[in-house]
Amino acid sequence: MLSRTTTIGSTVGLHARPAAQFAKAASATGLAVTIAVDGGEPVDATSLLAVMTLGAAHQQTVTLTAEGKGAEEVLDSLATLLSTDLDA
């Protein structure tokens, strides 16, 4: 299982719109992807509700994990997405 650590770039954190964009992108990978707030329990990254319940704030550190073929590229792509201000 591979992992990537990144910080949340959206100025209001992972609220509805950024969380939806992230969950949709995670789902499109076809891999089992999880996301966890630094020190917290991982949740299914494809679940909008689960991602929103993390309460990840702007500049908070999160860890992504994925397993399967192409996991490294998937994690790079998702980490880049999260580090972007999706509200801009």
In 8-70, the DSSP E strands lie at: 32-37, 43-44, 61-67
Residues with Cβ within 8 Å of 24's Cβ and at least 6 positions away in sequence, in order, are none
Residue of 15, 21, 32, 43 marked catalytic: 15
Q: Is 58 a catalytic residue?
A: no
pTM of the model: 0.94
The residues spanned by each domain of the chain are 2-83
What are the tens digits of pLDDT across the range 7-22? 999 999 999 999 999 9
At the fourth CATH level, which superfamily is domain 2-83? HPr-like (3.30.1340.10)
What are the tens digits of pLDDT across the range 35-71? 999 889 999 999 999 999 999 999 999 999 999 999 9
Residue 16 tokens read as 């509805």
Q: Within the chain, what is the greatest distance between any pair of CA atoms?
A: 33
